[in-house]
Chain A
Amino acid sequence: MITEIGHFALTLTFFVALLQSTVPLIGAHINHYGLMAFARLAAVTQFFLLTGSFCALIHAFVTSDFTLRLVVLNSHSLKPMLYKVSGTWGNHEGSMLLWVLILSLFGACAAWFGQNLTDSFRARALAVQGAIGFAFISFILFTSNPFERMAYPPFDGQDLNPLLQDPGLAFHPPFLYLGYVGLSMAFSFAVAALIEGRVDAAWARWVRPWTLAAWIFLTIGIALGSWWAYYELGWGGFWFWDPVENASFMPWLLTIALLHSAIVVEKRESLKSWTILLAILAFGFSLIGTFIVRSGVLTSVHAFANDPDRGQVILGILAFFVGGALTLYAIRAPKMQSQGVFSIESRETALILNNILLAVSAFVVFVGTIWPLVAEMMFDRKLSVGPPFFNLAFTPLMIVLGIILPVGAILPWKRGKVGRSISKLRGAFVAALAFAGLAWAMQSGKSLQAPVGLFLGTWLVFGAVTDLLSRIGKSWGFLRLCRLPRADWGKSLAHSGLGVTMFAIAGMMAWSQEDIRVVMPDDNWSVGQFDLTLTDVRAVRGPNYQANVADIILSQNGATITMLNPEKRFYTVAKMPTTEAGIDYRLFRDVYIVLGDRQDNGGWTVRTYIKPLASWIWAGAMIMALGGLLSLSDRRLRLGAGIGRPDPITKVTPAE
Chain B
Amino acid sequence: MRVLLIVVFALFAFPGFAVEPNEIIADEGLEARARVISKGLRCPVCQNESIDESSASLAADLRMLVRERLIAGDSDEEVFDFVVRRYGEFVLLAPSTSGANIVLWIAAPAMLWIGLMFGIFFIRSRSKFAGHKQDRPLDSSEKAELEKILNR
> Chain A: residues with CB nearer than 8 A to chain B?
90, 95, 161-164, 168-169, 172-173, 176, 225-226, 228-229, 232-235, 237, 240, 242-245, 247-248, 270, 289, 293, 299-304, 338-344, 348-349, 352-353, 356-357, 359-360, 363-364, 367-368, 371, 375, 378-379, 381-389, 392-393, 397, 414-415, 516-518, 568, 576-579, 594, 596-597, 605, 607, 649-650
Contact = CB atoms under 8 A, between A and B. Distances in A.
Interface string B1-28: 1111111111100111111111010000
Given A299-B48, A302-B7, A516-B19, A338 B116 contact: no
Given A240-B48, A300-B47, A375-B100, A344 B124 contact: yes
Given A164-B3, A244-B2, A605-B17, 4 more contacts: A229-B5, A383-B101, A397-B112, A576-B10
Nearest to B116: A356
B104 interface: yes
Contacts of B93: 384-389
Contacts of B14: 576-577
Contact of B50 (A303, A386, A576): A386
A225 B4 CA distance: 11
Contacts of B3: 90, 95, 164, 169, 172-173, 304
Most B CB atoms within 10 A — which of A235, A338, A379, A388? A235
A344 B107 contact: no
20 contacts: A162-B10, A163-B6, A169-B3, A229-B6, A234-B15, A299-B8, A300-B47, A303-B8, A339-B136, A341-B126, A341-B127, A341-B130, A357-B112, A360-B112, A371-B104, A381-B99, A384-B93, A387-B50, A388-B94, A415-B130
A167 to B, nearest CB: 13
A649 B90 contact: no
A384 B92 contact: yes
Contacts of B22: 518
Contacts of A577: 14-16
Contact of A392 (B6, B94, B123): B94
A270 to B, nearest CB: 7
Contacts of A388: 39-40, 93-94
Most A CB atoms within 10 A — which of B2, B15, B47, B123? B2
A387 B14 CA distance: 21
Most B CB atoms within 10 A — which of A234, A244, A338, A393? A244
B103 to A, nearest CB: 8
Given A176-B1, A415-B130, A385 B104 contact: yes
B94 to A, nearest CB: 3
A63 B4 CA distance: 25
Contact of B21 (A225, A245, A344, A518): A518
Contacts of B19: 516
B89 A383 contact: yes
Nearest to A415: B130
B152 A302 contact: no
Contacts of A173: 1, 3
A570 to B, nearest CB: 10
Contacts of B132: 341
Contact of A163 (B10, B123, B136): B10
Contact of A649 (B16, B99, B149): B149
Which 9 pairs across A and B sit closest by C-beta, in order of nearness?
A386-B93, A225-B2, A388-B94, A356-B115, A341-B129, A303-B7, A364-B108, A244-B5, A163-B6
Contacts, number: 207
B120 to A, nearest CB: 9
Contacts of A301: 11, 47
Given A343-B130, A363-B107, A382-B90, A299 B47 contact: yes
A348 B94 CA distance: 37
Nearest to B9: A233
Contacts of A605: 17, 20-21
Contacts of B1: 173, 176, 225, 244-245, 247-248, 289, 293
B60 interface: no
A596 B91 CA distance: 26
Nearest to B122: A352
A342 B6 CA distance: 49
Contacts of A338: 126
Interface string B80-96: 00000000111111110
A237 to B, nearest CB: 7
B14 to A, nearest CB: 6
A430 B130 CA distance: 35
A225 B94 CA distance: 25
B111 A363 contact: yes
Interface in B56-114: 88-95, 99-101, 104-105, 107-108, 111-112
Contact of B16 (A168, A244, A364, A596): A596
Contacts of A578: 15
A387 B40 CA distance: 8
A235 to B, nearest CB: 6
Contacts of A344: 123-124, 127
Contact of B107 (A95, A339, A364, A387): A364
A131 to B, nearest CB: 24
Interface in B22-49: 22, 24, 39-40, 42, 47-48
Contacts of B101: 375, 381, 383
B6 A304 contact: no
Most A CB atoms within 10 A — which of B17, B39, B118? B17
A352 B122 CA distance: 9
Nearest to B112: A360
A90 B1 CA distance: 10
Nearest to B123: A349
A302 B9 CA distance: 9
A304 B7 contact: yes
Contact of B115 (A302, A360, A371, A383): A360
A393 B97 CA distance: 13
Contact of B48 (A169, A356, A360, A386): A386
B8 A235 contact: no
B132 to A, nearest CB: 8
A384 B108 contact: no
Contacts of A392: 94
A357 B116 CA distance: 9
A334 to B, nearest CB: 14
A544 B53 CA distance: 27
Contacts of B17: 594, 596-597, 605, 607
Given A344-B123, A384-B92, A235 B18 contact: yes
A352 B123 contact: yes
A237 B132 CA distance: 55
A392 B40 CA distance: 13
B108 A303 contact: no
Contacts of B11: 301-303
Given A90-B3, A234-B16, A382 B89 contact: yes
Most B CB atoms within 10 A — which of A248, A304, A352, A576? A352
Most A CB atoms within 10 A — which of B4, B10, B112? B4
A595 to B, nearest CB: 9
